[in-house]
Amino acid sequence: MPDNKKRPPSLSTAAAEQGRDQRRVTMKDVAKRAGVSQPTVSFVLNDRRDVSVADETRARVLQAAKDLNFHPNRAARALRSNKSYTVAVIANRIVSQPYAGQIVLGVQQAVQPAGYVCFVVETSETPDAVDAAVHNLIAQGVAGLIYAAPGPEPIHAAVTEADVRTIFVNCWADNAKDAPQILADEYQGGRDAAAATFAAGHRRVVYLGGPADDYACKERERGLTDAARDAGIDPASVRREHGDYHVHSGYDLALRALSEDRPTALICGNDRMAVGALMATHAAGLDCPGDVSIVGFDDQPDIADQLHPPLTTVALPHLQMGLTAGELLLADAEPQGTRLIPCTYVPRGSLAAPKDRS
């Protein structure tokens, strides 16, 4: 008796059907669906504004490409146009830094909609490693180079005769003085942090900064000085202590400050020093912010908002710095000069009005 039940397809038949389903959609498929020629599809998808295509036709092609989930073959496109669609980020110690890694994310978000891919190369701190990485990237073809560092600092840039647009983010190179730079506005961030502290009523303030010769420390301290003047406070009355941006440094400096002419507020060079200052406050039997207010800088993920109390701080604009770098890299005009990206003051529970100690 014949078996009338529907049999499942054989493995070979299933594989063939799956292969047809997964066949790469081509411009010819898009052209057929849109009812236009293949060159017209190419003109539209490659945004050829030098070729006249009616708006209605352009819309029909874009809708057909969307319906078919068409993805251009970037490698073939690059070969045809002799144009690279790869942006290289030369990263110096930022991959392991969660907040500085936002720079890479920003670059990627800026260039991806234009069809570019972001390629990150983490280098060691030796000039030879940087030179080798950059020359290899240029040999393979890149649309541009973005140097990035976890903190504003001088770096080594590879010397090359290739005409490749280069941008520096959170860093600069002495051998590339004319290259465009993107930095956080450390001065503005330091001024905002200090202004909020003075506005809360604090007059007995100690600044616990990073190394005295560090760019960020100097800019933030300059902002503090101007904020003090704006508040009618003699900047010289604000004690300054310098450490190394680590927790132990904040702890040692804060403990010393609290054992002398005790301040009502500590403005710290970064969030890690603020963590140390909070530990020192507790070790001294004091309460934050009841006895001593503490202000940080960086808004470091998984630290600043997780402390008890949550840390008042200033957020560095790493994501926006990366976005700006990506936009400038793809811009028609050649970028020039230094661009300062504003920081954001983040009020939380560690800053309050001082107790009346009269």
Model confidence pLDDT, tens digit, residues 236-282: 999 999 999 999 999 999 999 999 889 999 999 999 999 999 999 99
Say yes or no: 135 and 190 in one domain.
no
- Does residue 151 share a domain with residue 95? yes
- Both 269 and 288 in one domain: the answer is yes
Question: What span, in angstroms and rounded, lies between the C-alpha atoms of 91 and 104?
Answer: 9
Could you tell me if residue 291 is inside a domain?
Answer: yes
Confidence check: pLDDT of 62 > 80 = yes
**Mean pLDDT on 150-178:** 85
Task: Please report whether residue 41 resides in a domain.
Answer: no
Q: Output the domain CATH number for residue 203.
A: 3.40.50.2300
Asked whether residue 11 carries a pLDDT value surpassing 60, the answer given is: no
pLDDT at 42 over 50: yes
pLDDT in tens, 103-161: 999 999 998 888 888 888 887 667 787 888 888 888 888 888 999 988 899 988 888 76
How much of the chain exceeds pLDDT 90, in percent? 53
Q: Give residues with Cβ within 8 angstroms of 219, minimum separation 6.
A: 186, 187, 190
Asked whether residue 279 falls in the same domain as residue 202, the answer is yes
**Distance of alpha carbon 308 from alpha carbon 140, whole angstroms:** 50
Intra-chain end-to-end CA distance of the chain, in Å: 106
Residue 281 belongs to a domain: yes
Question: In angstroms, rounded to a whole number, what is the distance separating the alpha carbons of residues 274 and 253?
Answer: 11
Judgement on whether residues 195 and 300 belong to the same structural domain of the protein: yes
3-state secondary structure of 7: coil
Is 61 inside a domain boundary? no
More confidently predicted of 20 and 325: 325
**Alpha helix (H) residue ranges in 215-246:** 215-230
Tokens, residue 275: 């963590």
Q: Is 11 part of any domain? A: no
Residues 334 and 261 in one domain: no
Q: Do 190 and 177 belong to one domain? A: no
> What are the phi and psi torsion angles at 57 (to 5°)?
-70, -45
Cα–Cα distance, 185 to 183 (Å, whole number): 6
User: Is 97 inside a domain boundary?
Assistant: yes
Are residues 221 and 306 part of one domain? Answer: yes
Among residues 44, 164, 142, the alpha carbon closest in space to that of 85 is found at 142
Residue 44 in any domain: the answer is: no
Same domain, 249 and 163: no
Please check whether residues 102 and 245 belong to one and the same domain. no
Say which residues have a Cβ less than 8 Å from residue 253's Cβ, sequence separation at least 6: 208, 241, 243, 273, 276, 277
* Model pLDDT, residue 335: 87
Q: To 5 degrees, how large is the angle CA 52–CA 55–CA 57?
A: 85
**What is the pLDDT confidence band of residue 38, given thresholds at 50, 70 and 90?**
confident
Check whether residue 330 and residue 279 sit in a common domain. Answer: no
In a domain, 151, yes or no: yes
Give how many domains the chain has, as a whole number. 2
Q: Is the pLDDT of residue 336 over 90?
A: no
What pLDDT, on a 0 to 100 scale, did the predictor assign at position 74? Answer: 53
Q: For 86-95, 142-151, 332-341, which range has the lowest pLDDT when averaged over its residues? A: 86-95
Task: Report how far residue 266's alpha carbon sits from residue 347's, in angstroms, rounded to the nearest whole number.
Answer: 15
Q: Containing domain of residue 127, as a range?
A: 84-184+319-343
Whole-Å CA distances, 307 to 192, 294, 302: 21, 12, 9
Predicted confidence (pLDDT) at residue 212 exceeds the cutoff of 70: yes
At residue 174, the pLDDT reads 77
Same domain for 231 and 272, yes or no, is: yes
pLDDT at 79 over 70: no
